[in-house]
Structure 1
Amino acid sequence: MSAAVSATHLQVRDLHKRFGAFAALDGVSLDVAQGELVCLLGPSGCGKTTLLRCIAGLERQDAGQLFSAGRDISGLPPQARDYGILFQSYALFPNLTVAQNIGYGLSNRSRDEQRARIAEMLELVGLSGSEAKYPGQLSGGQQQRVALARALAPAPSLLLLDEPMSALDARVREHLCGELRALQKRLGITTLMVTHNQDEAMLMADRIAVINHGRVEQYARAEEIYRQPATPFVAEFVGQGNWLPFERDGAGQACVGGRPVQLSDPRGGMRGRLFCRPEAVSVNPAEASDNRFRAQVRDITFLGNRCRMSFELNHLPGHPLLAELAPEDMPRLLTPDIWVALPPRSLQVFA
């Protein structure tokens, strides 16, 4: 994460966009601080790319306003908005060399200035010496770097990234995510990135806007979104989770499957769902542990640095739950009949 961010650079105010009867954006508002990297995270069709395209001026919003560095850009054409953009497909010109691709947006500069800026950008992205190559001679990761260099060459105040890593394999994607984040911090450029990959968002973003059905369901730092999801959708979309149905008895005590459970937050309705992360589940805990229940192990999956265990509470059959353990803890599971504990602090109430 970056240090404290400064003044607001981009403001999105109550943006609406419809395509016929479909509401792609339904009152989206958010602020992006100067030098901040914000990820727009959500499933396909949620509105995140439409929001990016409205900010870029490639789509015109039906209602709402956009401000960049205090300037109203709501009705400006794309070329007047001072941004660089990197698309999912990179959109490099196959018949132009690397140098010509990077210099495409520098036509207002002298030839000497163009050459110097192209060399500077190639060094920045680690491709010095590739000026005369064509895109077809480069790997996917190298093409992505060229496209990034082209987006940065005019020195825009805002960088827009539309699923920039989705065409790369997992290992290259993770490596370039780290490189791009380091470069963004070094340049201090305000960045808005669209992704459906939660790992990408967690790795790179200062803040994440989780979008669903054209609305921002939560806008916060990654840790807060993971540990304190604001809605059931956020809880389910970001990471793995367990859901347990609960209801209150006549005395107001929360119960799961007829058994009382202790909650750190006593608020909530008479019935609803309890949510907790798999890693919060304690397996074979001390006898004095709160919310300690008998359970049956149904399956164990080895995931390298951790193991994922599927289990059911004895008093809640047919309701599979997950726990995550370190591989060295697996010898403790000698029989399928175990105890588990659901710490009160890990249970979040959704009425």
Structure 2
Amino acid sequence: MKKVFITGGSGFVGQSLIPLLVEKGYLVSALARSQSAIDKVEKLGAVAIEGDVNNTEAITKGVKNAETVFHLAGYVDFFASEKELYDLHVKGTDLVLRESQKAGVTNFVYLGAASVIMNGRPIKNADEGFISDHLIDGYSKTKLAAEKLVLEANASSFRTISIRPPLIWGKGDPNLPEIMEAIRKGQMQFIGDGLHKIVTGNVKNVCEALLLAEQRGTGGEFYFITDGEQVVFKDFIRKYLATQGVAVPDKFVSIGTAKFIAGVMEFFWKIFRLKGHPPLYRAMINILGIEFITSDAKARKDLGYKSFVTVEQGLAVMRSPEI
């Protein structure tokens, strides 16, 4: 039975990946930094390793005798301090890589992010050859730096691969409560007309892609993956929230106005060191208000990746409390 170690096992993707691996016959251990996280991963069938990605003792214990490491741990926050994100994404990844190499791990699969090419301009059909000349937020900068470490560590005895999904969604999405609260408070507005197109990554598809990367991925390579469909942003968000019985109001703010408001809000948040996030900031406009389409042709060709779940099937799962 193949042993694998997962960081970020109690996160959104991890909670879907663990049962998939268990079902496939893998022996899974997962990093968990709190008692609630320990309870989650154990309930899913994994052996919990208490600690975080900057805890050498925990990582050493987790990678021992593991053939594959799935490094999922990350903090999806586009307004967090770059130092905080650097410590988690870059320093944490460096530690997991080094301990994996020492332990004789042979496969290292990293959960990257498609946002590492977002540059504030519309992006259409970008493939793995597309390189952004300007990254706006600390999350994308540090995810790209961490991915670089992963791919540069590739060797004949240590195969490293990165998967770059776009917006990850699906059952158990931790962002939904926050979005629903924003709607309740009247803070939800579409940036621009909401008619721009994006690609998405259902959590089921992301997990299947991670598994395919472990089985078939070429070392030192990264792969974009998507649900295989381009969706109109406004339509997708409305359908997504409708699965929770929430209607999205017809409120819009122009991109120009949004950028001005975001700049002012960021200024005050930094000057007065306010806690939390401003209702609007520049990276949010980049993520929610601009066309973003990547091509996953390389993953489909090299990994045999396919859309295991269509957008409509994913929405149906969201509507079904039994699933």
TM-score range, shorter chain: under 0.3
- Which structure has greater strand proportion? 1
Q: TM-score, normalised by structure 1?
A: 0.25
Q: TM-score, normalised by structure 2?
A: 0.27
Name which one, 1 or 2, has greater alpha-carbon Rg: 1
